[in-house]
A and B are shown apart, each in its own frame.
Chain A
């Protein structure tokens, strides 16, 4: 299949492992990615916290740019995904707002393409059977908890993600590549998001709580699909509570034996390589 690709700012910086592994996995699963032309930032928390029209217009500029490719747009970053879905929701529900935002952006919004996150695309379009067939190195010994966070799921009528209080797509996907996924009740709890910089102590508390729960569930790592969750969980937990954190695509890439899979592990702030060596996965 062919889709438009919106990497967003994080995937070119702190979340570069997600971009690299997303591209490798997509190629191997025959998902052709075409980057959205001249994209700009989605606006993130800072736009919607301070100016509603700005938040919709910044996302609309990108949705309009993506529409030129006339293909569904894959948005790996959970924060960008959430902002795009939110903009789509408001633009489709409110004609006056749509007219106003089109005036601000200087182009028409058609609303004809679907905004999709890669978990949904791999689970529903490629399918776990196809994925399992391509596994050459099952991730035996890896015990992740899957961490979905907030922005892929909520609000549910906007995000349209399955089972928003107890999602399972990521869990099943990790099972399909041979990991021993642990169940826990913190799948959809918040990591603290953008307060990491301006209110660090609160975020440390939140990340410590998540990591303690992951350990209690018997996990030896955490798997995520959000660069914000990754940054916070990788850097903010107190020492002694840290666990390796992976983007789900890094683990799929490793299980599929794709070249360069182990490279992205080197740029994590909390080094996952000792665990992976111990499990003889790298």
Chain B
């Protein structure tokens, strides 16, 4: 049977995680490490140890901002940002959901927006996010100002060839 490490390496499709010699440069430069349950270096160790349940159930994989500072500074080109993407995708594919539920709800609302019009209509996307996350009141005070300044509009041009956009979602089996 494939180990967790082998499974992740295959999906990263680049330098294998064994190349990490745990210098922790990734963690030193990570802007959200202090908010994470396990820091990026710890996640690599946990994958090497086969701690799949803990890793996929952690908040860490959702708090990664994909700022790519880690891979930029890694002396061994270990693609930690891609690793975080892979872990998030594994959690979704295996139906585990997300420890940081609202972050995944935001992604779902965003992708639903693309599926609906090809382009993001921010008020519609935000409405969907607020309804599904239950986070109804944050940022609401900003909305009127943004409408008045013309930054938000309920009607924005859509992609015409929506069939091609919908096809992409169907063929990639996206959420």
Contact = CB atoms under 8 A, between A and B. Distances in A.
Interface stretch (B1-9, B47-55, B153-161): B153-161
A44 to B, nearest CB: 7
Interface residues of A, number: 55
Contacts of B164: 40, 61, 105-106
Given A38-B160, A197-B106, A51 B172 contact: yes
A76 interface: no
Nearest to B157: A12
A79 to B, nearest CB: 10
A48 B168 contact: no
B107 A50 contact: yes
Contacts of B165: 40, 58, 61
Interface in B77-112: 79, 81, 85-86, 88-89, 92, 100, 102-108, 110-111
12 contacts: A14-B152, A16-B151, A51-B175, A52-B86, A54-B172, A58-B114, A105-B164, A150-B68, A155-B79, A266-B149, A267-B150, A269-B146
Interface of A: 9-10, 12-14, 16, 38-41, 43-54, 57-58, 61, 94, 103-106, 150, 153-156, 164-165, 188-190, 192-195, 197-200, 202, 206, 235, 266-269
Interface size of B as a range: 35 or more
Nearest to A157: B77
B75 interface: no
Given A106-B167, A197-B129, A199-B63, A41 B118 contact: yes
A165 B29 CA distance: 12
Interface string B121-160: 1100010010001010011001001100111110011011
B171 A103 contact: yes
A198 B103 contact: yes
B15 interface: no
Contact of A150 (B67, B102, B139, B142): B67
B35 interface: yes
Given A13-B152, A51-B89, A155-B71, A199 B168 contact: no
B24 interface: no
Given A46-B107, A190-B31, A40 B63 contact: no
A52 B79 CA distance: 14
Nearest to A267: B149
Contacts of B152: 13-14
Contact of B175 (A43, A50, A165, A193): A50
Nearest to A199: B103
B119 A41 contact: yes
B159 A269 contact: no
Contact of A202 (B35, B79, B88, B111): B35
Given A51-B172, A269-B146, A156 B63 contact: no
Nearest to B161: A38
Contact of A52 (B89, B160, B167): B89
Contacts of A104: 167-168, 171-172
3 closest A-B pairs by beta carbon, nearest first, are A154-B68, A46-B110, A190-B67
Contacts of B100: 198-199
Given A38-B159, A38-B160, A104-B171, A190 B126 contact: no
A275 B31 CA distance: 31
Given A44-B110, A58-B168, A195-B32, 13 more contacts: A40-B164, A46-B111, A48-B85, A51-B173, A150-B66, A150-B69, A155-B81, A195-B63, A198-B106, A198-B129, A199-B102, A235-B142, A268-B149
